[in-house]
């Protein structure tokens, strides 16, 4: 084990103490290890050690056909897996040059925005818990459960959803799903309002979060931050607006921007984003009614897995099924980069295709990985309790961090 | 779409770097150029600091391995001009025996972990990097697992041998 790094060599007298925060600490909500050098309660310097749940997704992806990579993307940011799933489907569709019917786009938008809300619920709820207010978390978690029930109605699973297929959805949204979405749209806004009432002007919460870990726009850009963190620092970069995918250009929404990038403005930005997501879902529901109700996938038999009944009873469907499963479908030899606005930043898929059964190379631009690298440098000089809150507000998801 | 076209970006680059930067193509309207490792930092700095281009956002650094090529390791940079809303992809190919390239941490702090990840998986040595250690794999590892010759599964493992399953 002589290869292990010496973390600190700046303290020959041994006056400072070394603290292992993690890998499994109840306050860090995931597998994060930070070796901190402490002067009392204050952090002198720190080193992040990551990779505890590295599962070599990029390597595995080089050995799998395209449609089998969707379950891998589930396990990146598992708090908002549908966004990852859709991002991957859209990457392959971009590669193959497939355009989706509008209705599929809107269905995707609904799912992605629900996922964003679910992710922000966890992040902001947990931030409340870490500052000592459990109520808000419990209050909001009930509505994450409702979102999970909507997922269940659409795809059958909750956390790692594997929702949709390359070329559309595996099945249409049923009436129950639409009713649940409408119910959520009706019931969630007052709860969010109450959540905001509980925190936004709460003296204790403000004292714990305002001015903690402020980040300037320049620093945030230099560290390639994206998503709510970058927006809290004052840069209005949102992939949904800059490079609209899945017909986001049809929607009317605002990009909330914070002022000084501290924990409090990140909290506010996320709350505001949830409201914007609700707006988008509402618009999508109205738009979807104008589209033919039986369309839930594009007409691309070379890529879209046919339903099982047809595979057993229809020769063509059997052939396509075989070709898709065996990876025999022709794909253009090219590079694709496709980015979606994940719940915590720009989630990019860099796909290099050589026309084979599986990607020649697939790289995930994981926002958690890139956002988290500022954590140790920015913790210097911070109180330990502030550093814990700072980590919560970064919303780093271990699965995405370690891929 | 962006405020400046790929052609304008290209003209700017060509005026400064002449034939040191070659165009690979524009797959899905993302301009892709190739350069050598001697120019890479100059090129990135030019793209970042030029008053009209302003590729201020380093989206990603990664690598790719083509074992049959003369220069098998490619390092790939994705930059994004948030002002003009244009992306660019820069590729640098390296010889297997000399996998060295200057670090981009002088331009972006965020390049730090991206380069560590690239080193960890491909063995690309970023000269001048402040802390070039493995990041996701264990520190004791000697191989570079994303290279094509590295098998997905451990060839020494026996628990998946056919005779355990009566085959």
Query: Does the distance separating the beta carbons of B60 and A348 come in below 8 Å?
Result: yes
| CA-based nearest distance B141→chain A, Å | 9
List residues of B whose CB lies inside 8 A of any A CB.
27-28, 30, 32, 56-60, 62, 64-65, 76, 78, 82, 85, 87, 89, 108-114, 117, 121, 133-140, 145-146, 150, 152
Classify residue A120 as left (phi > 0), alpha (psi -120 to 50) or beta. Answer: alpha
Q: Supply the mean pLDDT for chain A.
A: 91
Residues of B in contact with A370 (CB under 8 A): 110, 113-114
Instruction: Give residue limits of the domains in chain A.
Output: 65-402
Is-contact A9 B146, C-beta < 8 A?
A: no
What residues in A contact B147, CB-CB < 8 Å? none
Give the whole-angstrom CA distance, residue B54 versus residue A221.
12
**A5 secondary structure, DSSP code:** P
Which residues does chain B have within 8 Å of residue A369's beta carbon, measured at their own beta carbons? 113, 117
ipTM of the complex: 0.91
Q: How many CB pairs under 8 A join A and B?
A: 97
Q: How much is the pLDDT for A6?
A: 61
**Residue A325: per-residue pLDDT:** 87
| CA proximity to B145, closest of A59, A247, A135 | A59
Angle at A295 between CA A292 and CA A299, to 5 degrees: 130
Structure-block tokens of residue B2: 């962006």
How is residue A147 written in tokens?
A: 């979102």
- Each domain of chain B, given as residue ranges in start order, spans 6-165
Q: What is the CATH code of the structural domain delimited by A65-402?
A: 1.10.645.10
Q: Give the per-residue pLDDT at A14.
A: 74
A379 Cβ neighbours under 8 A, 6+ residues apart:
A34, A36, A43, A46, A387, A390
How many Cβ atoms from other residues are within 10 Å of residue A244's Cβ? 14
Torsion, CA A249, CA A254, CA A255, CA A257, rounded to 10: 160
Low-confidence ranges of chain A (pLDDT < 50): 1-3
In this prediction, residue A3 carries a pLDDT of 46
pLDDT band at B1 (very low <50, low <70, confident <90, very high): low
Three-state DSSP class for residue A105? helix
Nearest chain A residue to B79 by CA distance is: A224
Residue B75 pLDDT class (50, 70, 90 cuts): very high
The C-alpha atoms of residue A79 and residue A57 are separated, in whole angstroms, by 18
pLDDT score recorded for residue A5: 55
Return the percentage of chain B with pLDDT > 90, whole number. 63
State the Cα–Cα distance between residues B49 and B40, nearest whole angstrom.
Answer: 14
User: What is the rounded distance in angstroms from the CA atom of residue B166 to the CA atom of residue B150?
Assistant: 29
Taking the C-alpha atoms of residue A15 and residue A6, their distance in angstroms, rounded to an integer, is 17
Residue A1 confidence (pLDDT): 38
Within 13 Å, how many C-alpha atoms sit on residue B102's CB side?
15
Q: How far is A289 from chain B (nearest CA, A)?
A: 29
**For residue B152, what pLDDT is reported?**
85
**Beta-carbon contacts of residue A6 (< 8 Å; ≥ 6 apart):** none
Encode pLDDT of B86-96 as tens digits.
999 999 999 99
Report, at the CATH architecture level, how domain B6-165 is classified: 2-Layer Sandwich (3.30)
Cα→Cα distances A15→A6, A299, A377, A398, Å? 17, 69, 21, 33
Nearest chain B alpha carbon to A354? B66
Whole-model pTM: value is 0.93
pLDDT band at B158 (very low <50, low <70, confident <90, very high): confident
- CA separation for the pair B119, B110 (Å, rounded): 15
């Amino acid at each position: 084990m002589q290869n292990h790094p010496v973390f600190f060599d700046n303290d020959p007298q041994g006056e400072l103490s070394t603290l292992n925060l993690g890998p499994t600490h109840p306050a860090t909500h995931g597998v994060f290890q930070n070796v901190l050098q402490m002067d009392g309660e204050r952090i002198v310097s720190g080193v992040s050690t990551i990779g505890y749940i590295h599962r070599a997704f990029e390597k595995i992806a080089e050995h799998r056909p395209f449609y089998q990579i969707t379950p891998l993307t589930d396990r990146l940011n598992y708090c908002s897996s549908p966004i990852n799933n859709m991002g991957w489907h859209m990457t392959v569709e971009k590669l193959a040059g497939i355009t989706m019917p509008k209705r599929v786009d809107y269905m995707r938008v609904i799912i992605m925005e629900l996922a964003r809300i679910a992710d922000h619920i966890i992040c902001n709820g947990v931030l409340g818990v870490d500052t000592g207010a459990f109520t808000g978390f419990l209050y909001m978690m009930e509505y994450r459960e409702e979102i999970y029930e909507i997922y269940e109605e659409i795809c059958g699973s909750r956390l790692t959803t594997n929702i949709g297929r390359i070329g559309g959805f595996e099945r249409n949204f049923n009436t129950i799903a639409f009713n649940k979405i409408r119910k959520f749209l009706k019931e969630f806004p007052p709860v969010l309002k109450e959540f905001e009432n509980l925190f936004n002007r709460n003296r204790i919460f403000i004292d714990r979060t305002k001015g903690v870990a402020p980040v300037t726009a320049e620093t945030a850009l230099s560290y390639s931050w994206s998503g709510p963190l970058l927006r809290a620092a004052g840069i209005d970069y949102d992939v949904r607006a800059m490079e609209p995918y899945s017909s986001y250009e049809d929607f009317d929404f605002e990009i909330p921007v914070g002022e000084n990038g501290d924990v409090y403005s990140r909290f506010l930005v996320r709350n505001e984003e949830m409201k914007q997501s609700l707006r988008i879902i509402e618009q999508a529901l109205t738009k979807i009614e104008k589209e033919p109700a039986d369309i839930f996938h594009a007409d691309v038999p070379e890529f879209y897995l046919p339903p099982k009944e047809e595979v057993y009873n229809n020769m063509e469907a059997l052939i396509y099924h075989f070709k898709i499963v065996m990876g025999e479908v022709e794909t253009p030899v090219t590079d694709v980069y496709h980015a979606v606005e994940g719940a915590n930043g720009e989630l990019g898929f860099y796909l290099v295709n050589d026309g084979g059964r599986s990607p020649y190379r697939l790289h995930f631009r994981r926002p958690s990985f890139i956002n988290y690298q500022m954590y140790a440098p920015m913790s210097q000089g911070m109180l330990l309790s502030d550093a814990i809150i700072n980590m919560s507000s970064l919303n780093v998801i271990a699965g995405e961090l370690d891929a | 779409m962006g405020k400046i076209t790929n052609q304008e970006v290209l003209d700017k680059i060509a005026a400064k770097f002449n034939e040191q930067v070659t165009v690979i193509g524009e797959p899905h309207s993302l301009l892709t150029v190739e350069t050598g490792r001697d120019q890479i930092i100059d090129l990135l700095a030019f793209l970042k600091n030029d008053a009209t281009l302003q590729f201020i956002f380093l989206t990603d650094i990664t690598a790719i391995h083509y074992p049959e090529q003369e220069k098998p390791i490619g390092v790939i940079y994705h930059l994004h001009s948030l002002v003009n809303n244009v992306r660019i992809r820069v590729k640098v190919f390296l010889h297997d025996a000399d996998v060295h390239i200057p670090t981009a941490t002088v331009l972006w702090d965020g390049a730090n972990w991206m380069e560590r990840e690239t080193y960890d998986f491909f063995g690309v040595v970023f000269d001048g990097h402040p802390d070039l250690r493995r990041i996701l794999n264990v520190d004791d590892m000697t191989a570079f697992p994303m290279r094509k010759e590295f098998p997905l599964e451990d060839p020494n493992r026996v628990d998946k041998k056919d005779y355990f399953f009566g085959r």
